[in-house]
Amino acid sequence: MVSPKWPFLVRPALLNASQRAFQPPLHSEMIGGRLGATCAGPLKKKSSLSKTKRNTPVRRDNADEHQVAKLEIKQVQQHWSGPLPDPETLAAFDQIVPGGAARIFDQFEKEADHRRALERSQTRFVIRDTHIGQALAGTFALAGLSVAAFAIYAGAQWAATIIGGSVLVPIVYAFLKQTWKAN
């Protein structure tokens, strides 16, 4: 039997689990007709090259010592601006989904028609609001001037001046403001 001084030479079946966990790798060999276990340790492969030759880089080509390598780097940048993808991307969509480019164009046309319809309705509402505002301002001015005329007829000139002035001044200012914007 193997001496207890060298426990790593004991067959693995005789070791408990904690001892097997720390056991170095074993190398089995036949000793005197019986299977024995010995410590193998890390295997080292002998190199055919000496240390000095191993550290020297190997020259792969027969280039001249003074030959200079030329490295050329190209950078390509593409830019596409617009609501639709560029033609190469559309072609890629067509390869992935047959008819994909046509569907993208149809969707773009539908969205453009919808946007134009919204802009038309918005413009109509702005025009309508402007006309309603003008009609109400005209009605207010006529009512104010009518009250001022009645005040003059009734003999209250100060009241007629205040009412007529408070009605006419904003109207004149609005017309002058439009003239100033035009110039």
Q: For each of the chain's 183 residues, which pLDDT tens digit applies?
A: 444 554 555 455 555 555 555 555 444 444 554 544 444 445 555 555 555 566 666 666 555 566 667 788 888 888 878 888 888 888 998 999 999 999 999 999 999 999 999 999 999 999 999 899 888 888 988 999 999 999 999 999 999 999 988 988 888 888 888 777 777
Widest distance between CA atoms in the chain: 148
- Distance (Å) of CA 164 to CA 3, 63, 118, 153, 176: 129, 105, 43, 13, 18
Note the pLDDT of residue 153.
94
* Dihedral angle over CA of 129, 133, 136, 140, nearest 10: 170
Note the pLDDT of residue 106.
94
How far apart are the C-alpha atoms of 6 and 15, rounded to whole Å?
Answer: 13
Note the pLDDT of residue 69.
73
Note the pLDDT of residue 5.
53
80: Cβ contacts below 8 Å, ≥ 6 apart:
86, 89
| Domain boundary assignment for the chain | 7-39, 87-182
